[in-house]
């Protein structure tokens, strides 16, 4: 699959020739400063403000490619803030059809004179660090993130765990599924540990863990004994904790779901590991988890790269989950076919359903 650093570098290279790219796309722009071009936004009908569109030659954020803003209707919030998304929506409007992210990447490769994305050079760590010092764009793998990461193998990861996890088996996940995903309970940290693999499924790049205890009605943390007093204690007893990776850059189970998402051109998105495993246990292969109540542009890009055209949301069945669903639908409804999984309100999430309920209520909606 495509790697994110090369995609970001592709956009950076295109942004270096931004005037030329705008000319190829037929968009009239004027330079307002060394980093910004302005023009009329081509993404919405009836646009007439000649400075509403601002498109940038570089980005100062370490996790983002060069981007753009529509000051009239903020189209970037609907179609995506990256240069890649901007080019995609412009091509889609010009060709009067939905252009995939893969086709957009091919367009930019052709514009730059490259035949394939692997020909885009992956930058050295020294170059990435130099750009960071200069305020330029970075890959998603900065030294800061690397220090937080841990290098491990499945054998080393599981040596302190009791696999399968009793925490998850009590919640209806079969031992076979937990063993397949190497999920176990850590008796030293009192957490259920879940390894997170890279997007190719070859390396463990981090862990997400859930406290083995229920929520304390007094302090709201998930602990045993006295309520946490110090910052370190409060960090230890949070409900979920991510270590070694940026949750906004990955999707849980993506490594296993890729083939099915490609074949079906659809993906089911749920919030948590437990919800993901419950669907996997019942035969759903194109399901991924977004690690909580956020679905980032980086996560969306991962689905785009697989040619995903339909997104089915299966977020939690409470007020926060419904608000999350609305937020995602409002942002994505113009780019995807969207469906929302619905089930009895007395159940908080898919993970609380039995296998029978999952098969009868959820699978027909997938």
Please name each of the domains of the chain with its CATH number: 4-133 (no CATH), 149-245 (3.90.980), 250-365 (3.40.1360.10)
pLDDT value, residue 353:
95
For 14-60, the pLDDT digits (tens) are 998 898 899 888 898 988 888 899 999 999 888 888 889 999 998 86
Q: How large a percentage of the chain has pLDDT more than 70?
A: 90
What mean pLDDT value characterizes the chain? 87
φ and ψ at residue 337, rounded to 5 degrees = -80, 125
Locate the DSSP E strands across the chain. Answer: 29-33, 36-39, 53-56, 68-70, 161-162, 184-186, 191-197, 204-211, 240-243, 266-270, 287-289, 310-313, 337-340
Q: How large a percentage of the chain has pLDDT more than 90?
A: 56
φ and ψ at residue 99, rounded to 5 degrees = -85, 130
Identify the top-confidence range among 115-119, 139-143, 274-278, 343-347: 274-278
The span from the CA of 129 to the CA of 71, in Å, is 32
For 279-288, the pLDDT digits (tens) are 999 999 999 9
pLDDT value, residue 133:
47
Provide the token pair at 17.
């020739």
Whether the full predicted model's pTM is greater than 0.85, yes or no, is no
Q: Which residues pair with 31 in a beta bridge?
A: 37
Distance of CA 270 to the CA centre of its chain: 12
pLDDT value, residue 204:
92
φ and ψ at residue 229, rounded to 5 degrees = -110, -40
């Amino acid at each position: 699959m495509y790697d994110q650093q090369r995609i970001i570098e592709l956009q950076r290279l295109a942004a270096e020739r931004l005037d030329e790219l705008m000319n190829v796309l037929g968009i009239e722009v004027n330079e307002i400063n060394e980093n910004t071009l302005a023009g009329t936004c081509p993404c919405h009908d009836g646009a007439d403000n000649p400075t509403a569109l601002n498109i940038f030659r570089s980005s100062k954020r370490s996790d983002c490619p060069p981007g753009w803003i529509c000051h009239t209707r903020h189209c970037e919030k609907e179609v995506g803030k990256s240069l890649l998304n901007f080019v995609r929506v412009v091509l889609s409007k010009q060709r009067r059809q939905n252009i995939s992210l893969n086709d957009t990447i091919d367009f930019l490769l052709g514009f730059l004179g490259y035949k394939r994305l692997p020909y885009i050079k992956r930058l050295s760590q020294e170059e990435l660090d130099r750009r960071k010092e200069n305020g330029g764009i970075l890959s998603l793998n900065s030294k800061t993130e690397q220090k937080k990461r841990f290098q491990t193998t499945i054998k080393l990861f599981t040596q302190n765990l009791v696999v399968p996890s009793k925490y998850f088996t009590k919640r209806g996940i079969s031992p076979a599924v937990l063993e397949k995903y190497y999920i176990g309970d850590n008796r030293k940290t009192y957490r259920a540990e879940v390894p997170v693999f890279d997007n190719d499924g070859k390396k463990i790049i981090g862990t997400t863990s859930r406290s083995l205890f229920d929520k304390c009605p007094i302090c709201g943390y998930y602990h045993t004994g006295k309520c946490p007093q110090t910052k370190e204690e409060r960090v230890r007893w949070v409900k979920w904790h991510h270590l070694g990776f940026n949750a906004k850059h990955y999707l849980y189970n993506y490594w296993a779901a890729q083939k099915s998402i490609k074949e079906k051109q659809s993906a089911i998105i749920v919030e948590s590991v437990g919800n993901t495993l419950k669907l996997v246990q019942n035969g759903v292969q194109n399901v991924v988890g977004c690690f909580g109540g956020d679905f980032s542009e980086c996560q969306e890009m991962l689905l785009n790269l697989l040619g995903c055209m339909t997104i089915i949301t299966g977020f939690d069945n409470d007020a926060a989950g419904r608000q999350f669903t609305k937020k995602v639908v409002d942002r994505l409804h113009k780019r995807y076919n969207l469906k929302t999984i619905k089930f009895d309100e007395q159940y908080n999430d898919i993970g609380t359903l039995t296998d029978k309920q999952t098969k009868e209520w959820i699978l027909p909606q997938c």
